[in-house]
Amino acid sequence: MEKNWLNTSASFKAKVIGKLLGDGCITMQEGRKPRFQFTHVSRDYSWSNYCYLQLLEFLPLSPPKYKKNIDHRLQQGYSLSYYVQSRTADMITYLRLKWYPVNKKKIPFDLISKYFDEQSLAWWYMDDGHLKLEGNKPRKIILSTESFNKSENSWLIDFLKEKYNLHFYLDKQNRIILYDQFQIYYFLHLVTPYLHGSMHRKFLKSCEYRFHIPNKRTTIYLPTSIALKYPTKEINGALYELDKLINIYKRGKFYKRNFFLFNENNEMPTKGYQIILESDNLSRLCFMKGVTGLTFSKLAEISFKTTLY
């Protein structure tokens, strides 16, 4: 049975792991062999069908079927959904043993440690993730992990921190949540290449580069190790380096080049400088803040570290 699993592609394994962390399950009636299954609300039919097509290569799945569920707790008295179910197969029996060792879904730490990747994260997020916004500003990402126990969720938190440097926290509802805005943008950077178009509610709107912004007086906070004699002139001069940073971002290398930002000590002493930001630099700052969540002050600090680029 394990051989069938091992003979599948890395991409397939990643998707199955993401699906089973999310809305996927492996059901088994008494005296019968297990079946792979997932259900989505009717508005997510496109996502259901996409998952069906993506997994069909190695799983004997039937196409999505429409289902009306009577539920008197709902105002309309029912809910509409599409469900996909498989026929029986040796690989599904193997996955049932790994994910349901005591007839209840448990996290198979060994499989996740070996096969989980950004595609797994994206499928998990599309199934059980929520992006909370205020305007177009992200405030938190929630992964609904209530079905796992606290020990399993603590393991997931440690795993995501070690693998991606993402610092999730467990809330009172036993969900794991990402609060830090810079890390939220990084999370979305990781999963966006795999997000399905029907999941637009879990995307951020694209940030446009704005030109001709009027000069602005503001306060920039920099580490005391950066000593300035002529703040307005020196900070504006350093900010021209943001062109390099923007180019790095557009080539998809921003987070790799700036991984130190995840581990920086944010309690280092700083000094505030009241300056006038030039129009061109405001355009640069607004764009980079819009795509990374970093503050003007942090972007100015990075600009002084030109040797990193």
Please answer whether residues 271 and 224 qualify as being in contact, where contact means their C-beta atoms are separated by less than 8 angstroms. Answer: yes
What is the reported pLDDT for 72? 62
State yes or no: pLDDT of 308 exceeds 60.
no
Res. 255 pLDDT band, cuts 50 70 90: confident
Cα separation, 150 vs 127, in Å, equals 20
Sign, CA dihedral 213-180-299-229, equals positive
Res. 135 pLDDT band, cuts 50 70 90: confident
pLDDT tens, residue by residue, 71-84: 667 667 667 889 99
What is the reported pLDDT for 191? 95
Domain range annotation of the chain: 1-103, 117-206, 216-308
Overall size of the chain counted in residues = 309
State yes or no: pLDDT of 246 exceeds 80.
yes
What is the reported pLDDT for 76? 73
Q: Which residue has the tokens 């062109």?
A: 243
As a whole number, the mean pLDDT across the chain is 91
The larger pLDDT score, comparing residue 196 to residue 263, is at: 196
Helices of type H across 107-216: 109-115, 118-128, 150-164, 181-191
| CATH number belonging to domain 117-206 | 3.10.28.10
Evaluate whether 1-103 and 117-206 have a shared fold.
yes
Contact partners, residue 301, CB within 8 Å, separation at least 6: 222, 223, 226
pLDDT tens, residue by residue, 228-245: 999 999 999 999 989 988
Res. 263 pLDDT band, cuts 50 70 90: low
pLDDT tens, residue by residue, 9-67: 999 999 999 999 999 999 998 889 999 999 999 999 999 999 999 999 999 999 999 98
State yes or no: pLDDT of 188 exceeds 60.
yes
Task: Quote the pTM value.
Answer: 0.86
The domain at 1-103 falls in which architecture? Answer: Roll (3.10)
Section 253-270 average pLDDT: 75
pLDDT tens, residue by residue, 89-123: 999 999 999 999 998 999 999 999 999 999 999 99
